[in-house]
A and B are shown apart, each in its own frame.
Chain A
Amino acid sequence: MKEPTDIGMNRTGIGTSPIDSKELIEAAEGTVPSSEGDESGIASLRMSYASESGIVGTMPPPSSVKGAVKSVLEGLAAKNPAVFLDKLAERLQFERTGTRMYESVLAKLDALGSYDGGPTRETLQEFHDEELEHFHVLRSALESMGADPTALTPSADIAAVEASGLIQVLNDPRTTLPQTLHALLVAELTDSEGWDMLIELATSLGHEAMADDFRDAMRAEEKHLAHVRQWVANHAMQDAEGRLGQAA
């Protein structure tokens, strides 16, 4: 099978067409722009819209379980306890999407096979199950605080926008296993950072039991990150050394 690193007919560089590109460059060099200035005009438009616009949204009101939430929130001894709920919801959204991401990678592995030093099906399945478990951990955490775990909070919303490119890479039938693992690496880097912050928040808010659960999750995430990082590196090294081709 063709590898992306095989030499082929990629036409995107300017060097592909020496004659046409010469014309293109010469014509461009003679450009007289229709307006003076530089990129700063774009920046000032962005600044103008940013200063006039509201925000993407806010946290939901503590709905049906008002009393419970209120008391829990007061117990948190934080000036703005909604920050913790927002971050929990962000992680929840990410773990739920992460579960689906591992399903996509598993399908990719089943279709294309792995490589020396690449993932096994069992390991991917294990990581998948851990993402699912983390989703449940976060759901319980939110529920225990009287919050609605289905609410799409502002941070959860933004995290989903961030992840959208990863989902595209993972599900494109033309991407290779190493290419999808690179997307997964981006996800796992974010994941580790996210859990790190949750542990810090939970601890500082006096949620010791929760912080313990989160430390368990964090250990799993550190394992995910280390493995995915290694799989990506192993492939690049073998490819560079011409040792690819033998499926694991």
Chain B
Amino acid sequence: MSLDLTKEKGVAIDAQEDFTWRDMVREPISKLNDDAFTRLRIILMNGIEMEANRFQHAFARMNDPMRAELAKVRRIETHQQVLVNWLLPADQSPLETTIAYEQVAIEVTASLALLEPDPYIAQVLRFGLLEDFDHLYRYSALMDRLEGKDANAILQSYTDVLPGRPTVVEHRYPTDDLREHYDRTTAAPITKLVSLTIMSGEQQTQNYYQNIGPLFADPVARLLYAEIAHIEEQHVTQYEAIIDPNETWMEKWLLHECTEVWNYLACMEQESNARLKAIWERMVAYELGHLNHVMDLFRRVENRDPFEIIPTSLPERIKYMSHRDYVRQVLKNEVHLRSVGTQFVPVNQVPPDSPSIAYNRQINSDGSPSQTVAAGYVYTPGSELVKKAA
């Protein structure tokens, strides 16, 4: 399906004030019967809506004339977020949802890295991918060892449960998480959509871990969430850094709406649950409405053609599928990479005075939760207890 953004108007924003509480709070998906990618789409789109909301708040705080327009659109984003995020079922525990968040961070990042034409930005994505890949392994160990549960009930065998770049070495000095940014005037449109998507997903992951960490009684779980939330902060720093900070606020707003259309369209095209497919379809129409509204504002405020910023038709979409072979290949080739400032080097080429070395030593100096939780852990279907004789 190719959408012509010069023609598609979607639903006008005034007509999007049709939400009721019961419309937003619907029957959730089935943790047991729905496809894992349905869950992944919900989680990613919650992150996209969260970013739409937070971005529009920041915009309003710094731009008096736009406050009313932002307030109107932002309210709709909020309702969309409720409709989407409330599709997660309550029998899916916070730890199970965490497993799914990391699966998003693996499968969606892999798809984005494959779509990304800029080799440096693709490299940045693969660098983050190997770290989230390790998080999945650590959380799976926690789930087995704390609750006696098999993470694969959530993963549905689409994703490997293996160590990646060990979480213990991921803790870097803040400036080693900065990256070069794309150039707003020359970057391909898809680069901008990819960057905003991954930044939104990682930001929501950080939000989620920061919020749910203290819900656990177990000190090991509290420590592990603290540790991995810290990496997610690093990931947000990294992915925020690849976005050109010289874009105007209005450019950024256009790109946000375009990213929402692009992502909802991917959901709609690939959804296996008919009930959700209808929701994604409605959201595509709403986001097209936002996009058209913001295009009009852009023409008025910046006196420019919005298609200088966004493409006239949407580029290739995220693929919701297992990227097992690709991830294994990246793991094999790039697990030894470390960052020095904005560049990636093999671990043996990190200069001895790298601030990340001292930083890492300090933060891990009274133990590493991620190492403790997965000590000797090998994923086994049905729990590692299967291999233990009574």
Contact = CB atoms under 8 A, between A and B. Distances in A.
B217 A99 contact: no
A152 B99 CA distance: 16
Contacts of B152: 150
Contacts of B90: 161
24 contacts: A57-B33, A58-B33, A93-B148, A93-B149, A98-B148, A99-B385, A132-B385, A139-B382, A150-B382, A151-B153, A152-B150, A160-B91, A160-B149, A161-B90, A161-B91, A163-B147, A164-B147, A167-B146, A168-B217, A171-B146, A171-B217, A171-B218, A171-B220, A172-B218
Nearest to A100: B148
Given A55-B30, A99-B385, A172-B218, 7 more contacts: A57-B30, A93-B148, A96-B148, A133-B390, A139-B382, A171-B146, A172-B217
What 7 A-B pairs have minimum CB-CB distances, sorted nearest first?
A: A57-B32, A133-B390, A171-B218, A172-B217, A96-B148, A97-B148, A150-B382
B381 interface: yes
A213 to B, nearest CB: 13
Interface of B: 27, 30-33, 89-91, 93, 145-150, 152-153, 216-221, 381-383, 385-386, 388, 390
A228 B369 CA distance: 32
Interface residues of A, number: 42
Contact of A160 (B147, B216, B388): B147
B385 A150 contact: no
A169 B217 contact: yes
Q: What is the interface of chain A mostly: helix, strand, loop, or mixed?
A: helix
A96 B145 CA distance: 10
A54 B153 contact: no
A158 interface: yes
A81 interface: no
Contact of A129 (B147, B217, B390): B390
B91 A157 contact: yes
B386 A139 contact: yes
B32 A56 contact: yes
Contacts of A194: none
A50 B390 CA distance: 42
A139 B388 CA distance: 13
A160 B147 CA distance: 9
Contact of A53 (B27, B33, B93, B382): B27
Interface of A: 49, 52-58, 93, 96-100, 103, 129-130, 132-133, 135-136, 139, 149-154, 157-158, 160-161, 163-164, 167-173, 175
A47 to B, nearest CB: 14
B104 to A, nearest CB: 20
A132 B390 contact: yes
A70 to B, nearest CB: 21
A99 B148 contact: yes
B43 to A, nearest CB: 19
A97 B382 contact: no
Nearest to B390: A133
Contacts of B146: 100, 167, 171
A122 B16 CA distance: 65
Contacts of A52: 27
Contact of B382 (A130, A133, A149): A149
Contacts of B390: 129-130, 132-133, 135-136
A100 B145 contact: yes
Nearest to A160: B149
Contacts of B150: 150, 152
A227 B147 CA distance: 23
Nearest to A97: B148
A55 B27 CA distance: 10
A192 B175 CA distance: 57
Given A56-B30, A57-B33, A167 B147 contact: yes
A157 B148 contact: no
A157 B32 contact: yes
Nearest to A103: B145
Nearest to A56: B91
B219 A173 contact: yes
B327 to A, nearest CB: 22
Given A129-B390, A139-B382, A150-B152, A97 B147 contact: yes
Given A54-B27, A136-B390, A160-B149, A152 B32 contact: yes
A152 B385 contact: no
Contacts of B89: 56
